[in-house]
């Protein structure tokens, strides 16, 4: 997500090599999915600034998942902790651009994304209208300002979703969690909610949704559109509290990684 993190060691070959032997859907179904996705994107674009309204944002996120044939396997209705005076810092592992859509389908929160996302055709426009905050991956000197902005957002009562691995990985446990965004929670006195995101095809762990290396968004989107039986599972863990960003980052990563081991170990 920014220059304070290394590039992912995963490549597009990882997604192809690790994917389970699930036959792709038929071309006619792929075309239907693209048509449904175009409809959802058009509907979101027509909403303009109203897209940032929670009800509208959740509806569009769920619509995008449905259009692509991705089934959400979560019975959660919110990720924010309690009804306190601050928002919640929601931290999740990062596998795909679909992670953001899946989280927003559960609860429309402010998302911190790399600046490049804001430049993507169509998607970037919708992301900006949805209230996404962007970070410059080459702007290390801007990091304290970003942390201060996140802390202010949390103090205002709004929750923020971040991906502290800073880039996408093939698996839940790939990459070390960066500590900077945890400082925002410490400064705001906000709880941290660790969240595990996993993808499966017919109950088998899958990397079909992974967005890796120098792969283009179009290539990743096409692989998702062709995937059969793709499910995204979101697991929210008990909230963490503290003022030490190093301890918070380490504990969050341990909790999220432990969930993967418990399910697939």
The string of DSSP letters for 221-264 reads: HHHHHH-SSEEEEEEEPPPB--S-HHHHHHHHHHHHHHHHHHHH
Query: What phi and psi, each to the nearest 5 degrees, are found at residue 97?
Result: -65, -20
DSSP structural state of residue 6: P
Higher pLDDT, 169 or 25: 25
Please report the pLDDT score of residue 22 as a whole number. 78
Sequence-separated (6 or more) residues with CB below 8 Å from residue 130: 51, 52, 57, 104, 108, 111
Note whether 201 and 151 are within 8 A (CB).
no
Largest CA distance in the chain: 53
- The pLDDT score that the predictor gives to residue 222 is 94
Q: How confident is the model at residue 84 (pLDDT cuts 50, 70, 90)?
A: confident
Average pLDDT over residues 152-169: 85
pLDDT tens sequence across 175-206: 678 888 999 999 999 999 999 999 999 989 88
Q: State the pLDDT confidence band at 265, using cuts at 50, 70 and 90.
A: very low
Burial class (CB in 10 A: 0-12, 13-18, 19+), 73: middle
pTM, entire model: 0.86
Instruction: Report helix, strand or coil for 99.
Output: helix
**Most confidently modeled range among 18-27, 28-37, 199-208:** 28-37
Instruction: Output DSSP code: residue 25.
Output: P
pLDDT tens figures, 117-156: 777 666 677 777 778 887 775 555 678 888 999 999 999 9
Residue 196 near residue 256 (C-beta atoms within 8 A): yes
Residue 77 or residue 122, greater confidence = 77
- Residue 241's pLDDT is 96
Integer Rg of the chain from CA: 17
Q: Name the average pLDDT for the chain.
A: 83
């Amino acid at each position: 997500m920014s220059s304070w993190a290394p590039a992912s060691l995963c490549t597009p070959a990882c997604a192809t090599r690790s994917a389970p032997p699930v036959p792709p859907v038929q071309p006619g179904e792929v075309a239907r999915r693209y048509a449904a996705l175009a409809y959802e994107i058009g509907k979101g674009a027509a909403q303009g600034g109203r897209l940032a309204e929670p009800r509208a944002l959740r509806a569009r996120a769920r619509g995008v998942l449905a259009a692509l044939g991705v089934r959400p396997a979560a019975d959660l209705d919110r990720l924010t902790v309690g009804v306190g005076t601050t928002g919640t810092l929601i931290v999740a592992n990062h596998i795909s651009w679909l992670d953001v859509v899946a989280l927003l389908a559960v609860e429309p929160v402010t998302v911190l994304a790399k600046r490049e996302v804001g430049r993507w055709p169509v998607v970037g426009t919708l992301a900006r209208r949805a209230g996404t905050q962007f970070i410059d991956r080459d702007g290390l000197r801007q990091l304290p300002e970003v942390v201060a902005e996140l802390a202010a957002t949390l103090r205002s009562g709004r929750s923020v979703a971040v991906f502290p691995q800073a880039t996408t990985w093939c698996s839940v446990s790939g990459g070390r969690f960066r500590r900077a965004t945890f400082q925002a929670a410490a400064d705001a006195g906000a709880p941290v909610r660790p969240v595990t995101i996993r993808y499966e095809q017919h109950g088998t762990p899958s990397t079909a949704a992974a967005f890796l290396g120098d792969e283009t968004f179009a290539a990743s989107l096409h692989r998702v559109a062709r995937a059969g039986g793709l499910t995204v599972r979101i697991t929210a863990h008990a909230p963490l509290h503290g003022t030490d960003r190093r301890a918070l980052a380490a504990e969050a990563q341990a909790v999220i990684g432990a969930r993967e081991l418990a399910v697939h170990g």
